[in-house]
Amino acid sequence: MRIATWNINSAKARQARLIEWLDRAGPDVVCLQETKLSDDAFLELFDEDLFRRGYRVAHHGDGRWNGVAILSRGSLDDVVRGLPGGPGFPDPEPRAIAATCDGVRVWSLYVPNGRTVDDPHYAYKLSWLAALRDVVAAEVTRGPLMTLGDFNIAPTDADVWDVAQFEGATHVTPAERAALGELVDAGLVDVLRTRWPDDVVYTYWDYRQLCFPKNFGMRIDLTLASADVADRVRAVWVDRAARKGTGTSDHAPVIVDLDVAPDGDVGPMVPPPSSRGSTGRASGGRSSSATGDSLRRR
């Protein structure tokens, strides 16, 4: 089974890119984030294309800045829209959706950004992650589980091209990383980092200042799995081809193959970045102010 996650950064704007990617990558289960569509609008836009490709659809959105979805070519059972017990800002936002897909409980997640450390959105982010931890702690005891999506947290300094550029900004603070650590400690495995412990791997690159060709990125899109699912992983990688060209999201999909690896054990980023971009986290590129502006928009 091939399971993927992708922050699409507006499903309407990426409609052609998404359909092309589905045909090329052939995922069995897809978790989407930041669709920015209502449930009715998503179905109206994609229903025929997805039906012809054999996908069932569960979507949770209100047509504004969030929106999450799960697509499945197998079963799509026991759908839950929203994060049980989660806080609102001020009302609950469409940032989480779950379904059972061929025996695996799958969550598609768009964790709040946090904006700045002194913004109420930062406290909201930490409370939201605490509620997610409680949900995971309960569900991991019931069977195979995966939580996938845009977590808006770089787990370690190795997951940021130059952590000095983020000094004082969200996504790398000790409190966020501790909250993520508590989530993992509830019974999950970071399957990409487990497979590629020492490699430079990113999933997000700002649109500005040539960050993508320079490989000035962050790994904030995560694939976390219970141990029984992690044991089934045969390949996991970032599909950089989907970030290339025009009209792309600023995120790339992350793909996990369970049980079999149709394309072999490829990775960690396919195709790999240029040697210049992968040699380290050099200074330069986007400035601290540019980084802050980008994160506040998310």
Question: Residue 134 is which amino acid?
Answer: D
Residue 91 annotated as binding?
A: no
- pLDDT classification of 95: cutoffs 50, 70, 90: very high
- Residue positions annotated with a catalytic role: 110, 150, 251
| pLDDT of 291 above 70 | no
What's the mean per-residue pLDDT of the chain?
A: 92
Residue 176 annotated as binding?
A: no
Residues 258 and 1: beta-carbon distance below 8 Å: yes
pLDDT (mean) for 131-151: 98
Tokens of 218: 């962050």
Residue 77 annotated as binding?
A: no
- pLDDT classification of 151: cutoffs 50, 70, 90: very high
User: How distant, in Å, are the alpha carbons of 179, 180, 244, 256, 272 from that of 186?
Assistant: 11, 10, 36, 21, 33
- pLDDT classification of 274: cutoffs 50, 70, 90: confident
| pLDDT of 159 above 50 | yes
Give pTM, 2 decimals: 0.92
Alpha-carbon gap, residue 270 to 281, rounded angstroms: 19
Q: Does residue 280 fall inside a structural domain?
A: no
pLDDT (mean) for 216-220: 98
- Tally of structural domains, the chain: 1
| pLDDT of 280 above 70 | no
Looking at the DSSP bridge assignments, the partners of residue 100 are 77, 105
Where do the H-state alpha helices sit in the chain?
15-25, 39-52, 120-139, 174-185, 191-195, 211-214, 227-230, 288-297
Would you state the pLDDT for residue 64? 84
DSSP-derived 3-state class of residue 6? strand
- pLDDT classification of 80: cutoffs 50, 70, 90: very high
pLDDT (mean) for 35-54: 96
HSE at residue 47, side-chain half, CA atoms within 13 A, is 6
Q: Does residue 269 fall inside a structural domain?
A: no
Tokens of 81: 């829209």
Would you state the pLDDT for residue 161? 96
Q: Does residue 215 fall inside a structural domain?
A: yes
Q: Does residue 281 fall inside a structural domain?
A: no
Q: Does residue 46 fall inside a structural domain?
A: yes
pLDDT tens figures, 54-69: 999 999 999 988 999 9
Which residue segment(s) compose the domain that 98 sits in? 2-258
Alpha-carbon gap, residue 81 to 256, rounded angstroms: 23
Q: Does residue 289 fall inside a structural domain?
A: no
| pLDDT of 281 above 80 | no
Alpha-carbon gap, residue 202 to 292, rounded angstroms: 18
pLDDT (mean) for 85-112: 97
Would you state the pLDDT for residue 297? 36
Residue 139 annotated as binding?
A: no
Would you state the pLDDT for residue 28? 98
pLDDT (mean) for 164-168: 91
- Comparing CA positions, the residue from 87, 139, 53 lying closest to residue 95 is 87
CATH number of the domain encompassing residue 92: 3.60.10.10
Residue 152 annotated as binding?
A: yes
- Comparing CA positions, the residue from 156, 163, 153, 219 lying closest to residue 192 is 219
Q: Does residue 266 fall inside a structural domain?
A: no
Q: How many CB atoms lie within 10 A of CB 173?
A: 18
| pLDDT of 295 above 90 | no
Residue 257 annotated as binding?
A: no
Q: Does residue 274 fall inside a structural domain?
A: no
Would you state the pLDDT for residue 275? 55
- pLDDT classification of 206: cutoffs 50, 70, 90: very high
Q: How many CB atoms lie within 10 A of CB 286?
A: 21
DSSP 223-282: EEE-HHHHTTEEEEEEEGGGGSSSS--SB--EEEEES--TT-S--SEESPPPTTTTS---
Would you state the pLDDT for residue 289? 34
